[in-house]
Amino acid sequence: MDNSFITLGLMSGTSLDGIDASIIKSDGENNLDIIDNKYFNYPEEFRKRLSSFILNINNRADIEENISTYKSLERDLTLYHSKISKKIIGENKLNIQLIGFHGQTIIHKPKDGYSIQMGDANLLSQELKKKVINNFRANDIKNGGEGAPLTPVYHKLLINKFKINNPTIILNIGGISNYTYCFNDTLAAKDIGPGNVLIDGYLKKTKGINYDKNGDIALSGNINIDIVNQFYEHEFYNVQQKHSFDRNEFDFSFVKGLEFEDAVATLTYFTALIISQNIKKNFDNEIEIILCGGGRRNLALVNHIKKLLKYKIKLIDEFSIDGDFIESQAFAYLSIRSYLNKIISYPSTTNVLNPVTGGEIKINF
């Protein structure tokens, strides 16, 4: 008897560039078939409106004060998710049983008891005539956790699928960097600092560029080691003390006054240093690292990490998995686990007091 579900996972990350969509087939446990992945680029005008809104949100009260803008953005964002969903579902001609809808994180403040993801699950359910699972982080936070990272249970499935038997880290470099450590029955995870957020934020602010393609700008500049040394210890201490981050917690102003290329080079090295030192502090040289997320395409960033760590590092793509879609696949997988009331987070992954399930089912058709 096949207990598998065919599900669609949707993810819009901290880079605010667009939507990743993935269809998988899984039983929510050990079986996994990745059927398709697709990316949808947000229109520039919408991206700017969304980015501008998020930059001005420092707490939940700020959202309430700007609720009409929030609702307008939320409707547009949900309809963009509906558009890519209809496209990928239509192309594959499959009966999608569940949709894992992460939404767009607006503000993440677990210590204050909330993490807000923009996205109207009722509207998406109505648009697609499907069951939608959303609000994945709330139950974890309600039970004393940080609501992040949530991808470790999927990372563990991938490591088993790759038949890796050694201590392994999956290092995801998105807007924020996080790792999942997996070996035997041990599963541990945390955010470990900036990923692309400092670099992309600086590029958008100064030149209107969305990202440093291949790390070319960083490679053309000179690293200002004095500035790195001046700010590194303070930032590393802050990163060490925390388990998860909001994108607004990272500030690139310390490179102000540097030439453009040198600023990008310095931010890139600074990011690599924090990631590397955090991993070194927790793990020894016998560990294997698998990179995923958009940051793995930044050659300057990856080369710095390789030199600073000297560990065995591979791209997840070497295992015939597209490293751009791990999180959208994860939320497709988490939607199944949520629907079946299975555990999605553990004390060792989010600091939750006890293992919990999460997600809410919305049916509006």
When divided into structural domains, the chain yields a total of: 2
Dihedral pair phi/psi, residue 85, rounded to 5°: -65, -45
**Is 193 found in the same domain as 137?**
no
**Is 114 found in the same domain as 174?**
no
3-state secondary structure of 362: strand
Element (H, E) at 107: strand 98-109
Torsion sign across C-alpha atoms 135, 33, 343, 190: negative
Cβ neighbours of residue 166 closer than 8 Å, sequence gap 6 or more: 183, 286, 287, 288
Residue 142: inside a domain: yes
Residue 348: inside a domain: no
Residue 227: inside a domain: yes
- Say what the pLDDT of residue 27 is: 98
Residue 206: inside a domain: yes
Residue 329: inside a domain: yes
Q: What percent helix, strand, coil does the chain show, rounded to 5?
A: 45, 25, 30
- Say what the pLDDT of residue 152 is: 98
- Does the global pTM surpass 0.75? yes
Q: Residue 43's domain is classified under what CATH number?
A: 3.30.420.40
**Is 218 found in the same domain as 124?**
no
- Say what the pLDDT of residue 236 is: 65
- Say what the pLDDT of residue 1 is: 66
**Is 167 found in the same domain as 35?**
no
| DSSP symbol at 213 | G
pLDDT digit string (tens) for the chain, length 365 residues: 689 999 999 999 888 889 999 999 999 999 999 999 999 999 999 999 999 999 999 999 999 999 999 999 999 999 999 999 999 999 999 999 999 999 999 999 999 999 999 999 999 999 999 999 999 999 999 999 999 999 999 999 999 999 999 999 999 999 999 999 999 999 999 999 999 999 999 999 999 998 999 999 999 999 999 999 998 887 766 677 788 888 788 899 999 999 999 999 999 999 999 999 999 988 877 799 999 999 999 999 999 999 999 889 999 999 999 999 999 999 999 999 999 999 999 999 999 999 999 999 999 99
**Is 162 found in the same domain as 34?**
no
Q: 10 Å Cβ neighbour count for 282?
A: 15
Cβ neighbours of residue 355 closer than 8 Å, sequence gap 6 or more: 343, 345, 346, 347
* Residue 326 identity: I
**Is 303 found in the same domain as 193?**
yes
Tell me the C-alpha distance between 211 and 201, whole Å. Answer: 9
- Say what the pLDDT of residue 307 is: 96
Rounded alpha-carbon distances, angstroms, from residue 220 to 215, 264, 269, 300, 302? 9, 9, 13, 10, 15
**Is 176 found in the same domain as 265?**
yes
Q: Is 141 left (phi over 0), alpha (psi -120 to 50) or beta?
A: alpha
Residue 87: inside a domain: yes
Q: Are 110 and 341 in contact (CB under 8 A)?
A: no
**Is 338 found in the same domain as 294?**
no
* CA Rg value for the chain: 20
Residue 250: inside a domain: yes
**Is 142 found in the same domain as 71?**
yes
**Is 311 found in the same domain as 234?**
yes
Q: Which domain holds residue 79?
A: 5-147+325-343+353-362
**Is 57 found in the same domain as 200?**
no
Q: Is 354 left (phi over 0), alpha (psi -120 to 50) or beta?
A: beta
Cβ neighbours of residue 264 closer than 8 Å, sequence gap 6 or more: 199, 202, 203, 212, 217, 218, 221
Which DSSP string corresponds to 236-277? Answer: HHHHHH-S---GGG---GGGTTS-HHHHHHHHHHHHHHHHHH
3-state secondary structure of 46: helix
Dihedral pair phi/psi, residue 155, rounded to 5°: -60, -40
Q: Which residue in the block uniquely carries the two structure tokens 């790390």? A: 215
Q: How far apart are the first and last CA of the chain?
A: 29
Residue 278: inside a domain: yes
Cβ neighbours of residue 54 closer than 8 Å, sequence gap 6 or more: 16, 106, 107, 247, 248
**Is 176 found in the same domain as 301?**
yes
Return the closest-CA partner of residue 180 out of 201, 207, 206, 149: 149
